Chains A and B, each alone.
Chain A
Amino acid sequence: MDVVNQLRRQFVDYSTSLHREGILDDQFTQLQKLQDENSPDFVVEVASLFFEDCEKLINNMGRALEQQQGVDFKQVDASVHQLKGSSSSIGAMRVKNVCITFRSFCEAQNREGCLRCLQQVIHEFSLLKNKLQTLFRLEQQILTAGGSIPVIE
């Protein structure tokens, strides 16, 4: 049981740090709450969905911004909007904040600014993906060890 407790403590600390750093916010906690015996993998599923979505959108945005002859800012804006929605649904706070800035650049039709934001998005997204994957791994370890995932209030 010591291992389990250790793992659980690790999990709590890691979760707390993610929240503290602003990578995740309360919405993520809500998602965790929705996970129960009826939908045991809900969070993982939603996260996977989010990663897929994100990658697709990032590619779209990249392609649109690279157009040498006239950037279709409307299209970029639409993609950013989608990304913003997805990230706020999953509780990816930092990603969402970048999206907000990204949108204002889109409105201003500032290509440089947009490109910079895109870089930021990619950076934040990678960070989030890594952290979440670590978190899920920890969860898996706890479950394998026979413990239960602690609920973070």
Chain B
Amino acid sequence: MECNCIEPQWPPDDLLMKYQYISDFFIALAYFSIPLELIYFVKKSSVFPYRWVLVQFGAFIVLCGATHLINLWTFTPHTRTVASVMTIAKVLTALVSCVTALMLVHIIPDLLSVKTRELFLKNKAAELDREMGLIRTQEETGRHVRMLTHEIRSTLDRHTILRTTLIELGRTLSLEECALWMPTRTGLELQLSYTLRQQNPVGYTVPIHHPVINQVFSTNHAVKISPNCPVARLRPAGKYLPGEVVAVRVPLLHLSNFHINDWPELSTKRYALMVLMLPSDSARQWHVHELELVEAVTDQVAVALSHAAILEESMRARNLLMEQNVALDLARREAETAIRARNDFLAVMNHEMRTPMHAIITLSSLLQETELTPEQRLMVETILKSSNLLATLINDVLDLSRLEDGSLQLDLGTFNIYTVFREVLKLIKPIASVKKLHVSLSLAPDLPEYAVGDEKRLMQTILNVVGNAVKFSKEGSITITAFVAKPETLRDSRAPEFLPVPSDNHFYLRVQVKDSGCGVSPQDIPNLFTKFAQNQSTATRNSGGSGLGLAISKRFVNLMEGHIWIESEGLGKGCTAIFIVKLGIPERVNEYKLPYMPKMPTNHGHTAFPGLKVLVMDENGVSRTVTKELLMHLGCDVTTVGSSDECLQLVSHEHKVVFMDINVPGTDSHRITSRIHEKFAKRNERPLIVTLIGNTDKLTKENCMRIGMDGLIVKPVSLDKMKSVLSDLLEHRVLFEGI
């Protein structure tokens, strides 16, 4: 039969063929199930980049399976269709498989690299984990340190700081023992100062120059030391395995090391030793982070200790200062009280002593004027002389004490030098002529006529020096010379401290008084200016005086920035007293009021207040006439009235001053004053109201001020007094004479 079939190669019921048939079947089954599995699992997983490959692979496998499946039919005779289908399937399979094989060449390396990357990432993850672990531990440590620092720095008390450190460290690191060794005063030993377990450790000491200790001190890291080291032998023996021990140095910053601008050097240091011991039998080891923690804490402790030290120091300094302040204040108050007491005493003595003296002198001189028998006259003269002497003495003593405490100040003013010398001469001539001494005065032509200085005290000084010359000379002559000192001659070998500085506004006046008296021996010269010291060798009983004169003169000369000294060749050879004082040069003589101007002639009064319109009210005719003449003499335009009514009628704003002569101060003056005030509302239109009164007391003065008067003058009024009163009044618009 022509069936167009293809015969299989082998007979169909061969055993081998049977096995092939079964295998093909299973292959086909497997080949069909693999892609299904693949699809299922790929669908499950979301990450599979090679879908296209899968499809290819699936196709390849499916086709392979199809081939094997179709192969089943080839075991029995089969039609040509089956054979062609078989062929197509095989061709397709071949195609796909080749393509797949080609594709796989690219894909498999990729897949392999994925694997390596996976491995790499896993390693990285492990590494990161490790690092995370480290960071966490460090953070822990940092937290511990911060906490410890907080504890430590929360107090400024040294002991608390150290104790807290040990306690906290012990707690954080779970230490068995923690100890602090401080250097002793000598610096040669370390003494156990604080421990964790024992409250007050008995003083163990360890010499500082132990190799282990040196090792620890040489670095700022925590160093592991052997538990057998002397500093570590703190625990009771009998443990199996002592825990590891670490020691670290604690820098003790000495206060003197601190300068504000530069940091202390770290070389010259004192260190304390901190020893930390892990619990025994724990097999714990010191970890790096724990050591770092210890080091960080130690640094903080050092800082905290230095702060505490600074605070202690400043507290101590402050307390000291406060004490000193209190003491100084007390001393000052005492000194002030003393000075006040002294001044009060002086003031009282001044007044008390001067008043009777004055009375004695006045009455004695009055007595002299009366009729006296010669004996009486002699007695009165003696009384007068003695009391004058006493008055001078009192003045001198009071002056000197004021000079001593520096409360004396010069009264500067412009004065005529020539006048001063002439006055001195006038005063000294009588005594000199009695003693038959010749006094001559020579003033240099270049000596300025006017100078600025304390005229009274300069005269006192000159008088004292000349007086001494006269006093100590029994015969001969006294020569007084005065000239301007030249700068070259100003420096004197005898007075090395005296350094005059010439300037444009000042000149140095040099006065030399030479006498031919008893002289002074060289060794006595330094004592001359000492208070109360008198030359004993000469007959000083007759000369009198207190010995203060030269001392006071010296003080005055010093105040005038000058120098005074005495030269003498010896006893019996006379002596020369020389002094130099600094005087000012007046700028323009006209500007200053010259106090010793001669009295102004009466004609001068006419131009004093030309045309000043004044009103005089006085009930007493004589007194009225006198006052009118007085004021007319000063150039005023005077209107007089005899009663208060007339006064009120006539007073106008043209009158600048109203003089009221009040015989009886009281309602009348009150009335007039208030009426005038009412009449002239504006202050500058109102005439000034002045009352003339015979005698007055404080109450009257106050009353006058109260009722609105501008001034009060006490009669009798001289021409000069009226003149000065008027000028003061017009200048200041008020004048109340002091009682």
Contact = CB atoms under 8 A, between A and B. Distances in A.
A46 B632 CA distance: 15
Contact of B602 (A26, A36, A49, A90): A36
Contacts of B33: none
Contact of B629 (A34, A50, A53, A84): A34
Contacts of A108: none
B616 to A, nearest CB: 12
Interface string A34-54: 101011001001100110010
Contact of A34 (B622, B630, B663): B630
Contact of A30 (B606, B622, B663, B719): B719
Contacts of B694: 84-85, 88
A98 B260 CA distance: 90
Interface string B551-574: 000000000000000000000000
Given A46-B625, A82-B663, A30 B620 contact: no
Contacts of B621: 49, 53, 86
B603 A89 contact: no
B632 A39 contact: yes
Interface string B651-671: 000000000010110000000
B622 A53 contact: yes
A4 to B, nearest CB: 22
Contacts of A39: 629, 632
B718 interface: yes
Contacts of B719: 30, 33-34
A26 B716 contact: yes
Nearest to B622: A86
A109 interface: no
B197 interface: no
B626 interface: yes
A89 B633 contact: no
B369 to A, nearest CB: 9
Contacts of B715: 88-89
A31 B663 CA distance: 20
Contacts of B716: 26-27, 30, 88-89, 91
A81 interface: yes
Interface residues of B, number: 23
- Which among A38, A53, A85, A88 has the greatest number of chain B C-beta atoms within 10 A? A85
Interface string B597-610: 00000110010000
Contacts, number: 68
A45 B625 contact: yes
A82 B621 CA distance: 9
B620 A89 contact: yes
B623 interface: yes
A31 B602 contact: no
Given A49-B622, A81-B664, A88-B715, A36 B603 contact: yes
B622 A50 contact: yes
A30 B715 CA distance: 12
Contact of A46 (B629, B663, B664, B718): B629
A34 B664 contact: no
Secondary structure at the B interface, as helix, strand, loop or mixed, is helix
Interface in A13-34: 26-27, 30-31, 33-34
Given A33-B602, A33-B719, A85 B629 contact: no
A53 B623 CA distance: 11
Contacts of B663: 81-82, 85
B633 A34 contact: yes
B564 to A, nearest CB: 38
B629 A42 contact: yes
A30 B661 CA distance: 18
A53 B622 CA distance: 8
Interface residues of A, number: 24
B665 to A, nearest CB: 12
A30 B625 CA distance: 13
Contacts of A42: 629
Contacts of A36: 602-603, 633
Interface in B614-653: 619-623, 625-627, 629-630, 632-633
Nearest to B633: A34
Nearest to A25: B716
- Which among B620, B626, B630, B633 has the greatest number of chain A C-beta atoms within 10 A? B626
Interface string A64-102: 000000000000000001101110111100000000000
B460 to A, nearest CB: 27
B414 to A, nearest CB: 26
Contacts of B606: 38
A89 B664 contact: no
Interface string B238-282: 000000000000000000000000000000000000000000000
B626 A89 contact: yes
A124 to B, nearest CB: 16
Contacts of B626: 31, 34, 46, 89-90
Contacts of B620: 53, 82, 85-86, 89
A31 B664 CA distance: 24
A82 B618 CA distance: 11
B83 to A, nearest CB: 180
A26 to B, nearest CB: 7
Contacts of B627: 89
Contacts of B619: 82
A2 to B, nearest CB: 28
Nearest to B623: A89
- Which among B620, B622, B629 has the greatest number of chain A C-beta atoms within 10 A? B622
Interface in B685-739: 694, 715-716, 718-719
Nearest to A42: B629
A104 to B, nearest CB: 15
Nearest to A82: B620
A39 B625 CA distance: 12
Contacts of A88: 623, 694, 715-716
A90 B631 CA distance: 16
B605 to A, nearest CB: 9
A97 to B, nearest CB: 13
- Which among B621, B633, B694, B719 has the greatest number of chain A C-beta atoms within 10 A? B621
Interface in A84-136: 84-86, 88-91
A134 B412 CA distance: 50
Contacts of A82: 619-620, 663
A86 B633 contact: no
A85 B633 contact: no
Contacts of A26: 716, 718
A42 B661 CA distance: 20
A90 B629 CA distance: 12
A33 B622 CA distance: 17
B587 to A, nearest CB: 34
B443 to A, nearest CB: 29
Nearest to A153: B599
Contacts of A91: 716
A20 B78 CA distance: 195
Interface of A: 26-27, 30-31, 33-34, 36, 38-39, 42, 45-46, 49-50, 53, 81-82, 84-86, 88-91
Given A42-B629, A85-B623, 9 more contacts: A30-B716, A33-B602, A34-B626, A46-B622, A49-B621, A82-B620, A85-B661, A89-B716, A90-B626
Interface of B: 602-603, 606, 619-623, 625-627, 629-630, 632-633, 661, 663-664, 694, 715-716, 718-719
15 contacts: A27-B716, A30-B719, A31-B626, A33-B719, A34-B602, A34-B630, A36-B603, A39-B632, A42-B629, A82-B663, A85-B661, A88-B715, A89-B623, A89-B716, A90-B626
Q: Which 6 A-B pairs have the closest CB atoms?
A: A86-B622, A89-B623, A85-B620, A89-B626, A50-B622, A27-B716
